[in-house]
Structure 1
């Protein structure tokens, strides 16, 4: 067996001198089991040390399952953890008490041997975990080896107990384990939920560690008892690379980060390009350093790449290079985009599906378009690859009472069918009941689910509280969203009118500063406001459950003394509309407008696909797109948001709400709401961005009154340039304008089925940006169809990375299946299209 793939050696098998840790990790919850043996074993070479204790208290009916001693391993030796094993002749479970919900590390140690009539190397078995039965191992076998096999998993646990079950396979009568570890994962080790939707979703799925690599350095162990192995055996061409290193003490971490993510010994070594003097004589030299890692085909994988630039001469002149991860699009890397100084560590996560070859290739290379031959280089410090486990299964074993497996299977299948029919019946009943009489979100006796006392400070709840009440109350407990009225008054100078930065149907919006210096926007409901408490509650429930770079963050709320107040992050530049017309603000360039539309589309795409349930905004317009100090666009105002249709349904039947002029006509006529209603509103906004005029202007003639109709008229005649913002005339690439107009036209199609999804919209807007920025010379027919392959891919790299976020490449998958659509990926972008959807 290739131990590079399946084995992670325990630190006790390595000299203690190789163990490097700068900070001792002490998990909140930890269980270390010495399986099959009562005496404790303390691994003194660990920093901090681990004490492995008897597994019997965690194993139900432990007397049923024999322990086995390894005659070849002395109990006093350094490998005494593997001197015993727990043997299972039928299904058995370890149960661990969990103090707090979150991500936990589970490690299973296997070191087979023979004795007392058992041959553990012939055992074949499965392992599942959690109450929902996530399959970690299926028909697994651990052959005799000189080193243990250690399987490591990251599990999201949201109950008070973690159950790990072992069961022999039908072809075997044995399962075993030598040691088990369960402990809380450090918070900064978890997947960043602010990242792209596809990555954020993985934080709630089981992950198995497949590879953990120290690039350009030796095997090292860290403070989480993990082993990082050298990368030499995975390099395809060692001659193309160099190994670099620096003093580990020079490595620093970003705020709220530590060596729990990866140790300084990993970040202090790097693999770079081997650029000889003869190569530098050629200004256009270009090659890659490539690693190839074997994996199991048919699974999704999370790839974590670690970087620390200690090779550049200065922070302002740091290297820029290209990173290729599997079949994902090229990603441009520059340390100064992520950190504040040289030799500061950071990492980037990617998720990808593996091709049938069962290999993941990672490459780094010079960014030819943005570097000269003198500052050209590329680097990678560390790499981790995790298999995403999303399957569940019942572990069946040979029954000890002689019941045939076929009978068990028959009973199980019958039970599943019965339960499925019952679930379907209950779902239909609940759905009909909801349609006939909607369940109230609020208790009848109170207008606010957050209020228990007149001051609204109690978090205790009565057992009679509704489900919505309990959920809302939990927000304050779990997320700390509640902000006292006194704090808000202090932040806004008692709602000083001079601090008003906007107003709407809900009330006025004030600029403020909290005591800790955080700039905030305070939306205060006024008596008699058109938006009532349901919108107030919806805003809190939606924004407390989601987080994205292009969605405005909710900082808190207040409901004291009949006040209804929402507190958001402060957006320095205000609304998009104020930058288009009706103010004296500087004119936005076409590039800025495209980047703003792309940002808004990303936020809306996340609402539609990145959450556990589709969220339909229902009020997309230029006043609900806010801009920060760098003109980064964020979608705001979720008071009218609605959960999308459930699985198997096509729409949500609801009363029409939104803003006149942005209404989806199909939704207006039928009251059937879909995510394509948001697409229509977004299309209207695209024309608004282009033409810089209100979507409804009653001062104009009847034919010009409605912007969407007026713009469509000129778009279909191929003369959209006649009605664009006069300040942009002559400043827009012709093909970029054509692509933008085609995209907006598709968005405002009469029927929702003819409108694109936001993944497709994003693709076309980014293409429009590329056409404008790179000024690609295109023929008109090429913008909507296939593009010749000779078009330089390198030219695309000139685009500002702020406007081209290839992390969201999976958004493009839908286009690969829509051959008839004008909104198609061209062949030049075929390398960016993946097979993965939502």
Structure 2
């Protein structure tokens, strides 16, 4: 007979399993909001935005209360960065006006969209008003016009999390009473239900105390920052059904020590813990992270820091997202760190694995900080530092995401003061990109405080590094040396075969013996270098890069001009870059690669000697310069030359070589305007034939960095193609790859140019010096090539051979148009597209006399009347070097 107790137990077990499975499926799915209202104010009918979401008009809508004094109007102008929906129409109020939205009870995201243009011929600066939700003041005497100007934005979005008890959510707009002719306006309103994922449940602690902060149904939150740390921005359509925008964290990092993105396997599975639904944050937030780097001696000497401009007089909820996704961390006490918020200790022993019990599991922590009243703006600091007391395996820290919310004051107020004007000059490292720039909300941050703080941090870090290196070098230093810095370790100590404690010295120079390829390039003594540069005369400096200063010099009795790059011992580039440059360039010879003449490592110096490039860098002739603007043909032929050099690196050498730092400052121009690719310190040998990529730490320059390489740390030759695409946009637009003083949509040239190309308005942002001088067919070909180069995924980008072929063809189109008296693309001042007769052939300033046939027909290629094969490829045949021109698919 069946045992009834056992049967009931079995049924109960199945029910528990089924219930657990259902709960897991519910938690793992994107959230489906009960209320989703997208109101396009003043619009005519239903329209879709760029994400494909449908917006309804408020004209005749049940949401707009009847009888109020309001008008609808289109914006008088549309800036190129401004999406049509929901920004190009608005509703204007001369008196108090209320929208009433029938919704279910619970938490809602309220997003307000503003584009401060002129509506119905009204002065945009007069749009000053307040916005109220029940007893809560969301905005007070708010000027979208002044806010956008000060932040350097084109449009503004405000996001709030509010709780609705009754069946209606009312939002009231009121023009400012103390401002003559003031009015209120709104372009779009979004109402989206969201689960109560930001309630504290007693887990949000006030920083540096054990006191819990209650975030209840009576709390209204304003989102001020939401960042995907170590990764790229995540659009609302890629969120988990809540349509949140996640920005990148680079612009908010303080100082030059920005840490490194954590290497992640894109195929890893993120396992959300029990009770934590997937929609807390997208999986992409937890798949990317930022850590301090692999060097413990460096990590203990600095804080990984971010800073955020906030309104004083408010409390802020700071939510930090964590997930150990790196391959090396899987046990407790491997990575333990401290967390400081506003110079107060939030965590002394943060150990993500101890929180989650295993890797690839997300976790978040909530903290509350308070800014007392005083100056209207305060910087909220977030700092991470290794915990050395617990003696972890790695002295490191990690962070995956940050959300910061302003909490309403006791009187229900959330309105802050007008943001401070954005700084005129951003803090930029010209060789490494932005070191502490500004983005969507960080334009408000004071540049002086950042500069001073960055200087202090840099001095501390430099001091620690110098002490560390000097200590290791103390017993190895040449006692007879009196010249040159002592900070470098001699190159012979890195991999050279010397017995312990000995230093093999040459009889002629007194320097350390070297295994560098002296048979392939010349070895200079330090005395020769000093003579060539007149003892490093500051008046001979050509420029300063990440490696150090570059001097103009003369060798061989003044018969040969050279460029001499002297390494700075305090630079973040050192022995590896020095050795890589020598080993690569001593083996490569090509017309479009800069020639290395020799090197010097005497007296612990690291000095490289190159051919002198009389016309400097390409960037020096594009913007922020007194030089004569380059003609379009000059720019195109320079890019063709650089593409030939890169194509040779990718296909013509014995092994594929990936440059890894292609940018306009690394394209040099000789006295005949011939382009040469330079600076191979970061270059890597490409993958073997049975591999698709090289896994390596991300290096390069912000603005030119391949996003796929950044995400996956998998380097391919297509990473160079992406960077070269940015260069093509630079020669078209004559602006930097990154310009944080511009509105956030325009900061990245690659993203902005792609947006304009998609909208069909790329010709509106080209260099004014080029208007009317580019044939439409040539412009179209170059623009399409550049857009394909900066595709998000490497597989969608052309090979460098394809790029070269397209540029050669574009030059043919340009010359054919000039020969036939064709038309050139031009945008007039009123924004109307027109065509004008092309200018004649280039003047003597162009180097067409030096390039007798710079076009490829697939049959012959020569420069200056000489075969490319004999001069450029070190004896390689044309088919070996330029196979991708004759066969665009390449190898």
TM-score, with length taken from structure 1: 0.39
TM-score, with length taken from structure 2: 0.37
